[in-house]
Amino acid sequence: MIPYTLRRLWQFVPTLAGVVLLVFFLFNWVGGDPAYLLAGKISNPEQIENIRRQLGVDESYPTQLGIFVKQIATADFGASWATNERVSDIFRTRLGPSLTVLVPLLLISTLLGMAAAMLVAYLRGSLTDRAVMIACTVGQSISILVYILIFQYLLAYRLGWFPVQGWGTTFGENLLRYSALAIIVGVAVSLAPDIRLYRTFLLDEIGQDYVRTARAKGMSEGRVMWVHVLRNAAIPIVTNVLLQLPGLLAGAFLIERFFGIPGIGREVILAVERSDFPVIKAVSVYVAIATMVVNLVADLLYRAIDPRVQLK
Amino acid sequence: MRALVLFLGLSVLGANAAGADKILRITFQAAETGFDPARVSDYYSASVIEAIFDPLLTYDYLARPAKLVPNTTEALPQVSADGRTYTLRLRKGIRFADDAAFKSGNRELTAQDYAYSIKRFFDPKYRSPYAFIFTGKIVGLDELAAQAKKTGRFDYEAPVAGLQTPDRYTLVIRLREPDFNFPHVLAFPLVGAVAREAIEAYGEETPSHPVGTGAFRLKRYVRSSKIVLERNPDYRSRVWDFDPGDEPRFRAIAERMRGKRLPVIDGVEISIMEEVQSRWLAFQQGATDIEYQLWELAPSYMTDDGQLKPEFVRRGIQIDRSTDPEIIYLFFNMQDEMVGGFTKEKMALRRAIAMAYNVDDQIRIIRKGQAVRAHYPIPAGVAGHDPRYRISIPYDPPAANALLERYGYSKGPDGYRRQPDGRPLAIRYGSTPTERDRQFDELMKRSLEAIGVRLEIQKERFPELIKLQKECRVMVHHSAWIADYPDGDNFMQLLYGPNTHESNNACYQSKEFDRRYESSRRLPDGPERDRLYHEMTRIMELDTAWLLTDTRIRNALQQPRVIGYTKHPVLHAEWMYVDLASP
């Protein structure tokens, strides 16, 4: 396992290099010139040049690329061009609120999704199965924006169960009071695709010979489903869950904007609107690294879940 | 779990206890960037800066049009006979808010603080977006700035002939040439005094550690999310005492507010809410006190004749309705090969497009009726505005068609017009990928279809569009300008030839216009300058560099408990002048 892990870690280098080149060239080709935005309402070409010089965007492309690589190596992306806030501070202060919403959201939607998928997979072909699948198809085809608008209007404004938006000063208040509606919206959005996906994974297993054998041996249906079927369906489920983890770094900008959550998603959108390259660079690199790490962890977990899997 | 519930319960009780204070709750629709006056250019940061820092002069809260009054000075500046020397005497005893940056307690505001604050606009490390308000004005300052650009370090100790502090409370500013707008510059919110100790103590963190002499100080700051201000306990003694004139609305305000000590409220809680639904529901739920950023939703709370709907009146909701000191205009790039230039054919093309553009639809559909037609380049409430002036470019598509025919823009087999030399004719309209700009795209397309002119949409991200404008590479585009200070010069300079690549985004260069503009700069507000402004406007219309379209109406909704609020045409942070009724 160690040689495999080392080999995979080594493969991170060319992948990351590809990400760096892509981000760098995309920003320079289509990212817009931040100097004109920072220069304010009235500026002359000399002021624009001064800003470009200070930001370092007047340097040659190889030099700028070299600076980018150095920033990754030192994990120091400098300060935001728009607000002067250190990029490390942006992550330090914005990740907490994002995770306060997204971690419970991921946990709840995964557990609910698995339970519901198990039920409809067990009842395959029944009226319940068909009704749930139709509901999932409809639910999946509705934009998250619609969920947010309706839930915010109904549950927060009309019924007054939650605040319309806001963020407090304590973790408990933020989790239970301000994040609750955002989590409900997130779960509602992700439940439909999760149920459909997990149902497919489970159905693949239910038709296998070992399930028939287990039943022939007289095992209870609960044990067959929860122990045998679920364990064998776990690999794709784990993959799906793990692949969602890097997204936690990028936040959920729509949810954060509507519910006033000071998370990283809002910051990413602001950075794009302002052509704030240091923040864009940091987010892109961190998400890329997280994706690679998560993929590696997922592969290692396969082996733990199913000893038949060979890591080569 | 019980402990958690108890804890949350106590938190809620704590919030209620704090609610006994008079805290004004408002929203920003976009994130701020920070509170260092020399570094920002956005409206929202400037609003907070206005509440925390004190410029030398300010504006009377109720006087319309906006009227300059002393702020930290004893009187308005003494101006020398040649109009070049301004002498300002500070009131004694004004103190900065207490802060750890002051080693021996908060200290008194001095003339040196203003001299230092003005110099900071030229420190290259701040790349100040508002340096232009002082550029080329103060004797010796540009030379020092040029030296700083070479060395990369601004020498704050170097003497500046035009910035003198003969004693602790006197600031003498010498200008290169007379500038009748300079008092407005001294009232600009970003020209508030900063303390050098605080700037040096916080270094790169100054945007989140503002220390000023203003009515409020920063209590809690969650970037891009929440800004909480509290009353500055060291704020100087000021009493609400404004003359309401004959305006009944202002008289009612004065009746309830006169004699109250400023600031009347204990603090301001600002939530950044980018989404209009969040702002609207929060206001309706009573979670915010003043909301003036609901243009899109005006039909939800306004009747067609501009009144608040009865259900809101019944709830005691108040509305303050005013037009912003701004103009919105469609400009033509006068250097563009297709629409630019001064030949008769090009002038006819621009005129025809302007005559075909349906401004009424823009106001009715896109603005939801919450705008008024702009006729003059100087909006209402700004010195030099003429309410009687009427634009000489009518909405008349048939006449526009006839004009194009007359100058050789005949239609091809595809139904679209061609240039007089037979080459294809297509108007490229600059636009950003937003919902609002999509509406402008559609209106422009409808307008041009009416005269058989093909439209191409040039979609660019906002920063890129600004860059292309400054490089004179956008053919046609809508632009907006809101007053930095309430004087016509701030608007007329948008068409001054030498300001091409700076603020003249039509890249308009007319000798006739420029000659009159230069003369107007030497005149104070008055009939002689107004006459020049009239002539300049007619020249611009004749050349059709712009089509003035509209000025937006600002509807500020207020909860019943808000007392004394009215939107000031220039000030952003009226918070210190309002009160909140006790529950």
Q: Does A161 touch chain B (CB under 8 A)?
A: no
d(CA B37, CA B50): 9
d(CA B116, CA B201): 15
Rounded to a whole number of angstroms, the distance from the CA of B40 to the nearest CA of chain A is: 8
Q: Would you give per-residue pLDDT tens digits along chain B (583 residues)?
A: 444 444 444 443 334 334 468 999 999 999 999 999 999 988 999 999 999 999 999 999 999 889 999 999 999 999 999 999 999 999 999 999 999 999 888 899 999 999 999 999 999 889 898 998 999 999 999 999 999 988 889 999 999 999 999 999 999 999 999 988 899 999 999 999 999 999 999 999 999 999 999 999 999 999 999 999 999 999 998 999 999 999 999 999 999 999 999 999 999 999 999 999 999 999 999 999 999 888 888 889 999 888 899 999 999 999 999 999 999 999 999 999 999 999 999 999 999 999 999 999 999 999 999 999 999 999 998 999 999 999 999 999 999 999 999 999 999 999 999 999 999 999 999 999 888 899 999 999 999 999 999 999 999 888 788 889 989 999 999 999 999 899 999 999 999 999 999 899 999 999 999 999 999 998 989 999 999 999 999 999 999 999 999 999 999 999 999 999 999 999 999 999 999 998 7
DSSP string, B176-212: SS--TTHHHHHT-GGG----HHHHHHHGGGGGG----
Residue in chain A lying closest to B494 (CA) = A42
Contacts B129 to A, Cβ<8 Å: 38-41, 43
Rounded to a whole number of angstroms, the distance from the CA of B13 to the nearest CA of chain A is: 13
Mean pLDDT on A94-114: 93
Question: Which residue type is seen at B32?
Answer: E
Residue of B223, B226, B273 lying closest to A83 (CB–CB): B223
d(CA A236, CA A197): 9
Residue of B125, B130, B282 lying closest to A40 (CB–CB): B130
Closest CA to B406 of B460, B347, B364: B347
Reduced to 3 states (helix: H, G, I; strand: E, B; else coil), residue B228 is strand
Q: Does A56 touch chain B (CB under 8 A)?
A: no
Q: Does A96 touch chain B (CB under 8 A)?
A: no
B432 φ, ψ (degrees, to nearest 5): -100, 155
Q: Does B33 touch chain A (CB under 8 A)?
A: yes
Is the CB of residue B104 less than 8 Å from the CB of residue B94? Answer: no
Closest CA to B537 of B357, B300, B318, B376: B376
Contacts B281 to A, Cβ<8 Å: 152-153, 156-157, 164
B521 φ, ψ (degrees, to nearest 5): -65, -25
d(CA B230, CA B385): 38
Cβ distance of A270 and B470 shorter than 8 Å: no
Residue in chain A lying closest to B482 (CA) = A41
Is the CB of residue B59 less than 8 Å from the CB of residue B70? Answer: no
Rounded to a whole number of angstroms, the distance from the CA of B204 to the nearest CA of chain A is: 7
Is the CB of residue B550 less than 8 Å from the CB of residue B365? Answer: no
A7-12: list long-range contacts, CB under 8 Å, 24+ apart.
A8/A296, A8/A299, A9/A296, A12/A289, A12/A292
d(CA A299, CA B513): 72
C-alpha angle A198/A200/A206, rounded to 5°? Answer: 100
Closest CA to B27 of B271, B233, B275, B255: B271
pLDDT score of B14: 39
Q: Does A79 touch chain B (CB under 8 A)?
A: yes
Q: Which residues between 189 and 248 in chain A have a beta carbon less than 8 angstroms from any beta carbon of chain B?
A: none
Cβ distance of A37 and B466 shorter than 8 Å: yes
Q: Which stretch of DSSP H or E encloses residue B478?
A: strand B476-482
Residue in chain B lying closest to A51 (CA) = B127
Q: Look at chain A and count its residues.
A: 312
Q: Does A33 touch chain B (CB under 8 A)?
A: yes
Rounded to a whole number of angstroms, the distance from the CA of B9 to the nearest CA of chain A is: 10
Taking the alpha carbons of B287, B293, B296, B302 in that order, is the dihedral positive or negative? positive
Cβ distance of A149 and B277 shorter than 8 Å: yes
pTM of full prediction above 0.90: no
d(CA A27, CA A68): 12
Q: How many CA atoms lie within 13 A of A26 on its CB side?
A: 12
How many C-beta atoms surround the C-beta of residue A112 within 10 A?
15
Is the CB of residue A18 less than 8 Å from the CB of residue A11? Answer: no
Cβ distance of A40 and B132 shorter than 8 Å: yes
Give the ipTM.
Answer: 0.83
pLDDT digits (tens, 9 = 90+) for A174-208: 999 999 999 999 999 999 999 999 999 999 888 88
- Lowest-pLDDT choice from A23-27, A142-146, A248-252, B347-351: A248-252
Is the CB of residue B51 less than 8 Å from the CB of residue B216? Answer: yes
Q: Which residues contact B438 (CB under 8 A, 6 or more apart)?
A: B431
